[in-house]
Amino acid sequence: MEIFLEILKYTFPALLMLLLAYLMLSNFTENEENRRAYFIRKEAQKQALPIRMQAFERITLFLERITPNSLLVRTPAKGLTASEYQSLLLKAIRNEFEYNLSQQIYVSEEAWQMVVTAKSATVSIVNRVAAQLPANATGVDLSKKILEHAMELGTFPTRNAIHFLKNEAYREF
């Protein structure tokens, strides 16, 4: 029994020191790994931030371009029937959207959903207003009615999406 106590007297502190060394080394390696991951994330964010800001700019420009005031100015209605002008407006919106489709990977899902909703609302307004016009209406008539409808709305859906995008971009800083 005395030999057992003698062995225990030497092995217990050694085992305790081994356990302590293990805990310290594992804590150190975990902290070091976290530090490395932090610096990698920081470097990736430093490189990604300009790209994300550019995406916010492009999406905002898209939303501005499909706002009725801008869309109608860029797409002249002279000499077109209302249905021809409606098709031209819808094609312009679709082309703008397809051109900026890849930007969705740089913004949140909620922000992209706001953009899609604004685009869909704009298409819906153009279609709804065109459906209310008589068959012999001109493109100019359609243009006027779209502007009147936009004025009645107050805040156009693209404005809400732009406001949301601005808030998301401000959170990046």
Residue 63 near residue 115 (C-beta atoms within 8 A): yes
Domain presence at residue 37: no
pLDDT for 173 beyond 80: no
DSSP state of 104: G
Backbone angles phi, psi at 13, to 5 degrees: -65, -35
Q: Which structural domain, as residue segments, surrounds residue 89? A: 48-171
Domain presence at residue 25: no
- The closest of 116, 118, 131, 125 to 152, measured between CA atoms, is 125
Q: How many separate domains does the chain show?
A: 1
Domain presence at residue 135: yes
What pTM value is reported for the model?
Answer: 0.74
- pLDDT greater at residue 1 or residue 54: 54
pLDDT tens, residue by residue, 72-100: 999 988 889 999 999 999 999 999 999 99
DSSP characters for 125-139? HHHHHHHHS-TT-BH
Domain presence at residue 134: yes
- The closest of 78, 48, 74, 45 to 61, measured between CA atoms, is 74
Domain presence at residue 26: no
pLDDT tens, residue by residue, 31-79: 999 999 998 888 877 888 888 899 999 999 999 999 998 999 999 888 8
Domain presence at residue 54: yes
pLDDT tens, residue by residue, 117-162: 999 999 999 999 999 999 899 999 999 999 999 888 878 889 999 9
Backbone angles phi, psi at 81, to 5 degrees: -80, 170
